[in-house]
Amino acid sequence: MRDGKLYGCNYAGYASVAGLTAETAGDYYDLGTFSGEKKAELVEFRLGFNERGYMEFCKKCAGYGNNSHPVKAAEQL
């Protein structure tokens, strides 16, 4: 979590802050828009669901926890 945004991928947030990638909408949940009516939306985001179905920064490796498409070191970008 950084600046009121909850990132779906920590590494995407780190890369954005470091200036390696642009911040991509959908890769974070803006907690400034949260209300009690949006509880299900927040839970779905935390479970890994977003409009694209993946985090932009991690699209080649399919995520850290369930990596079904490993990529060799230094080939992610």
Domain span including residue 52: 5-58
Does a structural domain hold residue 39?
yes
60 has a pLDDT exceeding 60: no
Does a structural domain hold residue 73?
no
- Look up tokens 């990529």; give the residue: 71
What pLDDT band is residue 68 in, cutting at 50, 70 and 90? low
Number of domains in the chain: 1
Does a structural domain hold residue 51?
yes
- For residues 50 and 27, the answer to whether their CB atoms sit within 8 Å is yes
Does a structural domain hold residue 17?
yes
Mean pLDDT across the chain, nearest whole number? 79
Does a structural domain hold residue 64?
no
Return the pLDDT at 49.
81
67 has a pLDDT exceeding 70: no
The pTM of the whole model exceeds 0.85: no
Share of the chain above pLDDT 90, in %: 14
